[in-house]
A and B are shown apart, each in its own frame.
Chain A
Amino acid sequence: MNRSLLLGSGALLLVLVLAWWLTSRQPKPVLLIPTLTGKPEYCLTCHSDLAQISPSHPVKTFGCVICHGGDALALNADQAHSSMRGGANPSDLSVVQQSCGGGNCHSGTAADNSDHIQRVMGSVQSTYAGAISTMLYTFGAEPDLTARFGIHAVSDDVITTKTGVPALKVFDPATETNPFIKEFATNCLDCHINAKPLTGQPFDRLTGCAACHTPKIDSFSKGQIHKLTTAIPYTQCNTCHNQGNYDLRTMTFVQRTDQPTDRLHNYYQPIAQFTKCEYTLDCVDCHTRTEAMGDGDIHSNETQIQYIQCQTCHGTPSQLPQTKTLTDPNDIAFRLALLNPIVDPKVGDTILVTDKGEPLWNTRVLPDGTYQLVGKATGQVFTFRPVMGSGCTQIGTDQSSAYCHTCHSVQR
């Protein structure tokens, strides 16, 4: 009958087969219904090889979307990712409340020790209030060193410490007239946890919570790092700290030029004094979560929040360090140890605590009266003695680290 009809039918059949073939080549959607949301998501269709972010965020419970946002049903990369919060980093402070917040998550109550976001938002690491207030005071824009401005505005209804301030306004460089302060605003606002890091491998880090809790592996540009941890190595702290100095005459940051090959030389600036434990341990082995993330109050500078001293672990010639025997199975020390299981504390163990009662949960008092500390990032075991009973003659009231460094500093 008809060659053209046959041809037409053939053409239609051909494109139908083509449509079927192309459809059959699509990846099979991988469905996940996380127990927390109960809503289907298909992210694992492409991301099945991604490691679980942490044991405390199991993917079957949390899924992906609760933290990352995104279009859970889309199987087209562009669309699936189009509404993600904070790009690849949902912990950026601009979106952290939506990503990580919530009463049962990280914006709960102080009593429940789950007010992480509130504490971080007011901490000097994110407000940069110390540097800003120092500059404003130095150049006569403010009458004292009390912080009034921060990188972001923040307020605090319940002040629990002597140095807490009620609120900070946004530091707005556009309103400044002093050329030095303007210069400071241009060059020096890179050192808070939500700042885009300076260019270069040593500064490579993410922002927000991930600035600290997502330690870099080689370089972020080399691939995805899907990890949140409290085992934070000193190298992560070093992406902001110990990378150089500010030149106050030119208001510029001068990057260190030495190229340290070992940890002793990497740890500090050339002229600094320090003891052995300060370069063999990781920063987080001594400095507590309160010091790093804030205590809930808004402080004017770092010195108001940093309080760990040599004596916290070593005591003084006349006094042993403070300790605590774990009796409550719900003690925060157990929770912290669960997050980073380098130690396995038991009820009845005695551990060191700080002046403010924060548990140094990675330590314990040994039966012979000495102490043990397990490195949070390395798992390395250290034992050490109290000052009391040693030959130390330092008087009890002069216990800042500078006094200890007089005898115990390491030479490079």
Chain B
Amino acid sequence: MRPNFFHHLHPPTIPAAQARWRYTLGAGGLAIFLMLVLGVTGILEMFYYIPTPDQAGLSIQTITYQVPFGALVRNLHFWAAQLLLIVIAVHLVRVVFTGAYAPPRRFNYLLGLALFVIAILLDFTGYVLRWDIGVQWALVVGTNLIKTIPWIGSELYIILTGSTQPGIATLIRFYAWHIFGLMLGAAILLVWHIFRVRRDGGIAIPPPALRTDNKRITRYELVRREVLAMLFSGAALILLAIFLPAPLDEPITQTAEVLGEARAPWFFLWIQQMLKWGDPFFWGVVVPVLLLVLLALIPYIFPKPADRELGRWFPKSNRLAQVTLAVIVLVVIILSIVARLSMPGGPSAS
């Protein structure tokens, strides 16, 4: 068979161990697929979405209720965005729990982490674009957190929101960040990340001398597996989109007000819970940033995973890194659950 364009994006052959589901969980590939889905559905939404405070909520209602298959497209965009964060988190956990960040992949680990941060910001800006009362708490409280940063807080707030309070300038800025600024960053970093995977010798496995399994698969087999994964995850995504519609409340009318109960999007629930503990700058800005720094330092401060242990789960040589990440993940999950349980009436998650 003559390799087509998509085959050529892959190396002619790769070690079979690099492409095992039980090793990679397919999380990186799935994240790329979800980003493609998000790109396509996002472009479709742009034909109808109007980024002004009085039209934003209404235009989403138009997409949801009047545009043929608009609800399907919007729900796909929503679910792909939620799943993307989970899939990236799983990808990160896989990389740390298998010690795959070891040199020469330290830099690509940082690229991946940056992509994670961008994906979270994309999710948050997309969430705010709904401009309905469901996002109001997070919009007001989230942007107010910026103000608490010493020295530059007020300036940063104005740069971010375009005014002294959330309003028309905020919406257009969030929109521009969502569809252009962050998307551009994500696209560049994604291509770079994928390039670095190849440059660094593919997915982490022991060097040839230490390998026990020398089987290789062709690019045809690799593409076949990727297509298979896309078909099934695409079908699952459509099922989710059909049966679990994305949330939508009535449009915001009073932007300056914080309405009702605290309700951050689900991926920020852990921060919402910490905000109850006191100083918003410390708990809402310093602690999350420190956690991010700690994650970024994992390849640099913890013992290097042994070459021969690469390509398998839970190598003994990097236990400390595994435990550190496990603790962070557990704390985030527990805080999120506590925050969710303390919400009366169970408002929409995102």
- At the interface, yes or no: A5 with Cβ under 8 Å from chain B? yes
A359 to chain B, nearest CB (A): 43
Cβ contact of A42, chosen from B65, B72, B224, cutoff 8 A: B65
Known: A71-B61, A73-B58, A83-B250. A12 touches B66 (CB 8 A): no
| Distance in angstroms between the alpha carbons of A32 and B176 in the assembled complex | 34
- At the interface, yes or no: B248 with Cβ under 8 Å from chain A? yes
User: Across the interface, do A4 and B228 meet the contact criterion of CB distance under 8 Å?
Assistant: yes
User: Across the interface, do B239 and A15 meet the contact criterion of CB distance under 8 Å?
Assistant: yes
Stretch at the interface among A74-82, A185-193, A299-307, A398-406: A74-82
- At the interface, yes or no: B279 with Cβ under 8 Å from chain A? no
Residues of B within 8 Å of A14, CB to CB, are 235
Q: Which of A346-360 contact B (CB under 8 A)?
A: none
User: Across the interface, do B66 and A5 meet the contact criterion of CB distance under 8 Å?
Assistant: no
Cβ contact of B238, chosen from A15, A71, A73, A74, cutoff 8 A: A15
- At the interface, yes or no: B68 with Cβ under 8 Å from chain A? yes
Residues of B within 8 Å of A15, CB to CB, are 235, 238-239, 242
**What string of 1s and 0s marks CB contacts (under 8 Å) between A1-18 and chain B?**
010110011011011101
A36 to chain B, nearest CB (A): 18
- At the interface, yes or no: B62 with Cβ under 8 Å from chain A? yes
Known: A15-B239, A83-B250. A73 touches B61 (CB 8 A): yes
- At the interface, yes or no: B69 with Cβ under 8 Å from chain A? yes
User: Across the interface, do B235 and A75 meet the contact criterion of CB distance under 8 Å?
Assistant: no
Please classify the interface of chain B as helix (H, G, I), strand (E, B), loop, or mixed, using the class held by over half of its residues. Answer: helix
- At the interface, yes or no: B40 with Cβ under 8 Å from chain A? no
Cβ contact of A23, chosen from B58, B69, B249, cutoff 8 A: B69
- At the interface, yes or no: B227 with Cβ under 8 Å from chain A? yes
| Distance in angstroms between the alpha carbons of A15 and B240 in the assembled complex | 10
Residues of A within 8 Å of B248, CB to CB, are 74, 76, 79
Q: Which of A1-46 contact B (CB under 8 A)?
A: 2, 4-5, 8-9, 11-12, 14-16, 18-19, 22-23, 29, 42
Cβ contact of B65, chosen from A5, A19, A76, A83, cutoff 8 A: A76
B331 to chain A, nearest CB (A): 35
User: Across the interface, do A11 and B66 meet the contact criterion of CB distance under 8 Å?
Assistant: no
Residues of B within 8 Å of A19, CB to CB, are 69, 72, 238, 241-242
Contact count band on B: 20 to 34
User: Across the interface, do B231 and A12 meet the contact criterion of CB distance under 8 Å?
Assistant: yes
User: Across the interface, do B249 and A18 meet the contact criterion of CB distance under 8 Å?
Assistant: no
Contact count band on A: 20 to 34
Cβ contact of B232, chosen from A8, A18, A76, cutoff 8 A: A8
Closest to A23 in B: B69
Known: A12-B234, A29-B66. A5 touches B61 (CB 8 A): no
A171 to chain B, nearest CB (A): 29
Residues of A within 8 Å of B62, CB to CB, are 73
Closest to A82 in B: B250
User: Across the interface, do A23 and B68 meet the contact criterion of CB distance under 8 Å?
Assistant: yes
User: Across the interface, do B224 and A82 meet the contact criterion of CB distance under 8 Å?
Assistant: no
Residues of A within 8 Å of B64, CB to CB, are 74-76
Residues of B within 8 Å of A22, CB to CB, are 242
B318 to chain A, nearest CB (A): 35
| Distance in angstroms between the alpha carbons of A76 and B250 in the assembled complex | 12
Residues of A within 8 Å of B228, CB to CB, are 4-5, 8
B238 to chain A, nearest CB (A): 4
A62 to chain B, nearest CB (A): 20
| Distance in angstroms between the alpha carbons of A16 and B250 in the assembled complex | 30
**What string of 1s and 0s marks CB contacts (under 8 Å) between B161-195 and chain A?**
00000000000000000000000000000000000
Residues of A within 8 Å of B239, CB to CB, are 15, 18
Residues of B within 8 Å of A9, CB to CB, are 231
| Distance in angstroms between the alpha carbons of A23 and B248 in the assembled complex | 18
| Distance in angstroms between the alpha carbons of A71 and B110 in the assembled complex | 45
B250 to chain A, nearest CB (A): 4
| Distance in angstroms between the alpha carbons of A151 and B224 in the assembled complex | 74
User: Across the interface, do A23 and B232 meet the contact criterion of CB distance under 8 Å?
Assistant: no
Residues of A within 8 Å of B58, CB to CB, are 73
Residues of B within 8 Å of A2, CB to CB, are 224
B329 to chain A, nearest CB (A): 31
Closest to B239 in A: A15
A20 to chain B, nearest CB (A): 8
User: Across the interface, do A11 and B232 meet the contact criterion of CB distance under 8 Å?
Assistant: yes
8 shortest interchain CB distances as A-B pairs: A8-B231, A73-B61, A75-B65, A83-B250, A15-B238, A11-B235, A15-B235, A12-B235
A→B interface (CB under 8 Å): 2, 4-5, 8-9, 11-12, 14-16, 18-19, 22-23, 29, 42, 71, 73-76, 79, 82-83
A-B contact pairs, 23 of them (CB 8 A): A5-B224, A5-B227, A5-B228, A5-B231, A9-B231, A11-B235, A12-B231, A12-B238, A14-B235, A15-B238, A18-B242, A19-B241, A22-B242, A23-B69, A42-B66, A71-B251, A73-B58, A73-B65, A73-B66, A75-B64, A76-B65, A76-B245, A79-B61
Knowing that A8-B227, A18-B239, A71-B251 are A-B contacts, what are 13 other residue pairs whose CB atoms are under 8 Å apart, sorted by A's residue number? A12-B235, A14-B235, A15-B235, A18-B238, A22-B242, A23-B69, A23-B72, A29-B65, A42-B66, A74-B61, A79-B249, A79-B250, A83-B250
